Structure 1
Amino acid sequence: MAEPFENPADIIEFVRKFQDIKIILTAIELKVFTTLDTHMLTLKEISEKLDVEEDSLSRLLNALVSLDLLHKVKDKYYNSHFAKTYLNENSNEFVYSLKHYCNTFERWSDLTGIIKPDFEGNDFSEAFISAMHYRAKKTADLIPLMINRDNIRRIIDIGGGSGVFLISFLKQLPEATGVLLDLPKIIPISKKFVKNEGMEERISFIEGSYHDADFGEGYDLAILSAILHINSALENEKLIQKTYNSLNKGGKILINEFILNEDETSPKRAVLFSINMLVGTKKGRSYKYSEIESWLKNTGFGHIELKPMGNDASLIVGEK
């Protein structure tokens, strides 16, 4: 019998399909396709008809565009032929089973607790940091090769988690040292990864929130990997200013993010990730390159470059 998956990436992609499914079911519940019917409507018009706040709705609509169920022309959305025919309650061919699945999806989400009522769940922090480490490790060794590493002697990894990118830089820069900043509950997990790589003598730690902690100064490189999407635009502007102040003249900022295109409908991973941030954070979302570039320029960074990585993520590098 053939194996159902050829490699770990296959099962990750398969399991992540729950996001696509929930986006479609949410659109069914909110009657997005039915409201659009045969019309072309703006975000504001759809928001008013559904009585839904615009920011969260725009993320849902853009996600549906990325799934090819809606189309977007300038500022107007309209149903694909499939959505108009099968997902629209005004159509004689509407698939009524989907309304039933909206209810059963919620019940299935509690399957673990149904099977084991006393199940307490996994430790969120350790599971999250380990997952991020596993995902990042595949590209971590390539990132130092994508920037000019001359004169990098001291590095700060802001919200560094496992320190996977910091460790990769230090392996390629044997004279350099690093500082990893993260929350007090994360640092013990960070130290395990650092110890496993034999980097205890070269990496020190700062415990605290990157919003409030003192970064210190004198760094040649600051890493902000998978951080900006957690925050609001205003919080990111302040964080980038704080990072700028910690760098030596000529020091670099390295940002790693899923970057939205200018109409916010692709790449699919970045669009769905913005929904993920809507679910998982108070203010976070995916951002466009133009937004991040403006924060960097306003702070004083120059020589700003966008470097796609081929895994739906991109690096943005700026110099003080």
Structure 2
Amino acid sequence: MHPPDAILERTRQFMTSRIILTAAQLDIFTLLEKQPDSANSLFLQLGVDPRALTRLLDALVAAEILDKKKGIYHNTGQSTLLSANHPETVRPMVLHMAEIWDTWSHLTEVVKKGEKPDLVPMTEKDSQTLEDFIGAMHVAGRQMAADIAADLDLSGYKKLLDIGGASGTYTIAFLNKAPGLSAIVFDLPRVLPMAESRIAENQMADRVELRAGDYNTDEMPADCDLALLSAIIHQNSPEQNRSLYTRICQALEPGGTILIRDHIMDEDRTKPPGGAIFAINMLVNTRGGDTYTFSEVKSDLEQAGFTDVAMAREGKSMDCVVMAVKPS
């Protein structure tokens, strides 16, 4: 490909993304999963403009997201995963991507000013947006959680404190790995019903306690010898993380361990590449969030009172794990 064409092709990729996001918001893929259909039938069900919908559907076909045969649109292997009814649906993540489309559109302004002035934190958004976000985190974590749990030595631990545990994805994976482990999921009152539902589905209600609180301000539950911060520190400023680490250290049992699962950047902050891009996601979506290097995490943990800081898992994206110990 000629160099100008290559860079222009990359620049235009947002167009296909926006087409998929809109189709997911309209729930077209769920409708087509139930029954392949025509544009005329679909616009009646959706209550949208018929010409605009037809152009959207044809663009999805052109992008090989849908098939079209004699005017009837069908899901493909890819688009089936965007149906809300698929057992491994990725629709919650796509809806979350649609939600943050707006903040990414303000990137130029954010780079000029340092932050989006009217930014609304995720925890203050409406219930559906928060539910989509929690669902997106489950989509991202369901396989990763199992892989990470498989790689870690969880023997000898008695009680896990899953801080900001969302719908319990990592708690479930850790308890599956360690049959003798119990857990506390500590998260906002609005989030805990989602954790309760997923934990019940996995028949773990007798091993998991749900505790309501804000991990940035509230006292941590005590009596745990293992604490997990899974995809939490990138949402916070360094100052917030140091405060969080300090309160975790105070709450943990002597000799207890903290595990941090996140992007861990190399010292020039360009690798892993996904972490460098995710730093932009935090720039436009949080007040002070970022991706952090190992040396930054190590220094903050040690200031909070932890020792023996080490990489427990060398990952390629947000699957890195840092561990540290509270002195006995």
Flag whether TM exceeds 0.5 (same fold). yes
- TM superposition score normalised by structure 1: 0.64
Which residue of 167, 171, 178 maps to 1:166? 171
Corresponding residue number in structure 2 for 1:194: 199
Contact kept, 8 Å, 2:99 with 2:129, in 1: the verdict is no
Map Cα deviations across residues 30-71 of structure 1 (whole Å, 9 max, x no partner). 9xxxxxxxxxxxxxxxx9xxxx34x56xxxxxxxxxxxxxxx
Contact kept, 8 Å, 1:19 with 1:272, in 2: the verdict is no
Is 2:237 the counterpart of 1:269?
A: no
- How far does residue 300 in structure 1 lie from its aligned partner after superposition? 2.5
For 1:312 and 1:174, how far apart are their aligned partners in 2? 26
- How far does residue 189 in structure 1 lie from its aligned partner after superposition? 1.3
Which residue of 319, 323, 328 maps to 1:317? 323
Q: How does 1:89-108 map to 2 (within 5 A)?
A: none
- How far does residue 247 in structure 1 lie from its aligned partner after superposition? 1.3
- How far does residue 216 in structure 1 lie from its aligned partner after superposition? 2.6
Structure 2 spans left out of the alignment, 5+ residues: 1-60, 66-75, 83-89, 116-125
Q: How does 1:129-144 map to 2 (within 5 A)?
A: 129-144=134-149
Is 2:128 the counterpart of 1:123?
A: yes
Query: Measured at CA, do residues 203 and 17 of structure 1 come closer, stay the same or move farther in structure 2, by a change above 3 Å?
Result: closer
Query: Measured at CA, do residues 124 and 26 of structure 1 come closer, stay the same or move farther in structure 2, by a change above 3 Å?
Result: closer
Give the total of aligned pairs. Answer: 234
Is 2:233 the counterpart of 1:228?
A: yes
Corresponding residue number in structure 2 for 1:178: 183
Q: How does 1:57-96 map to 2 (within 5 A)?
A: none
Q: Kindly provide the amino acid, as one letter, of the partner of residue 325 in structure 2.
A: E
Corresponding residue number in structure 2 for 1:146: 151
Query: Measured at CA, do residues 17 and 259 of structure 1 come closer, stay the same or move farther in structure 2, by a change above 3 Å?
Result: farther
SS of the residue corresponding to residue 155 of structure 1 reads: strand
SS of the residue corresponding to residue 266 of structure 1 reads: coil
- How far does residue 212 in structure 1 lie from its aligned partner after superposition? 2.6
Corresponding residue number in structure 2 for 1:291: 296
Contact kept, 8 Å, 2:189 with 2:212, in 1: the verdict is yes
For 1:125 and 1:191, how far apart are their aligned partners in 2? 16
SS of the residue corresponding to residue 200 of structure 2 reads: helix
For 1:23 and 1:131, how far apart are their aligned partners in 2? 17
- How far does residue 180 in structure 1 lie from its aligned partner after superposition? 0.4
Contact kept, 8 Å, 2:104 with 2:281, in 1: the verdict is no
- How far does residue 271 in structure 1 lie from its aligned partner after superposition? 1.6
For 1:198 and 1:150, how far apart are their aligned partners in 2? 21
- How far does residue 255 in structure 1 lie from its aligned partner after superposition? 0.5
Query: Measured at CA, do residues 282 and 23 of structure 1 come closer, stay the same or move farther in structure 2, by a change above 3 Å?
Result: closer
Q: How does 1:208-227 map to 2 (within 5 A)?
A: 208-227=213-232
Is 2:264 the counterpart of 1:259?
A: yes
Contact kept, 8 Å, 1:151 with 1:220, in 2: the verdict is no
For 2:324 and 2:266, how far apart are their aligned partners in 1? 20
Q: Kindly provide the amino acid, as one letter, of the partner of residue 293 in structure 2.
A: K
For 2:105 and 2:132, how far apart are their aligned partners in 1? 27
SS of the residue corresponding to residue 250 of structure 1 reads: coil
For 2:293 and 2:247, how far apart are their aligned partners in 1? 21
Contact kept, 8 Å, 2:150 with 2:177, in 1: the verdict is no
Query: Measured at CA, do residues 285 and 309 of structure 1 come closer, stay the same or move farther in structure 2, by a change above 3 Å?
Result: same
What percent identity do the matched residue pairs reach? 30
For 1:134 and 1:155, how far apart are their aligned partners in 2? 22
- How far does residue 124 in structure 1 lie from its aligned partner after superposition? 0.8
Q: Kindly provide the amino acid, as one letter, of the partner of residue 217 in structure 1.
A: A
Q: Kindly provide the amino acid, as one letter, of the partner of residue 246 in structure 2.
A: Q
SS of the residue corresponding to residue 205 of structure 2 reads: coil
Map Cα deviations across residues 78-136 of structure 1 (whole Å, 9 max, x no partner). xxxxxxxxxxxxxxxxxxxxxxxxxxxxxxxxxxxxxxxxxxx9811111111101110
SS of the residue corresponding to residue 215 of structure 1 reads: coil
For 1:165 and 1:288, how far apart are their aligned partners in 2? 23
Deviates more, 1:155-164 or 1:172-181: 172-181
Q: How does 1:10-49 map to 2 (within 5 A)?
A: none
Query: Measured at CA, do residues 291 and 3 of structure 1 come closer, stay the same or move farther in structure 2, by a change above 3 Å?
Result: same
Q: Kindly provide the amino acid, as one letter, of the partner of residue 231 in structure 2.
A: A
Map Cα deviations across residues 256-286 of structure 1 (whole Å, 9 max, x no partner). 1112222223322112212111222222122
- How far does residue 6 in structure 1 lie from its aligned partner after superposition? 6.0
Q: Kindly provide the amino acid, as one letter, of the partner of residue 274 in structure 1.
A: A
- How far does residue 211 in structure 1 lie from its aligned partner after superposition? 2.1
- TM superposition score normalised by structure 2: 0.62
Q: Kindly provide the amino acid, as one letter, of the partner of residue 301 in structure 2.
A: L
Q: Kindly provide the amino acid, as one letter, of the partner of residue 212 in structure 2.
A: E
For 2:288 and 2:318, how far apart are their aligned partners in 1? 22
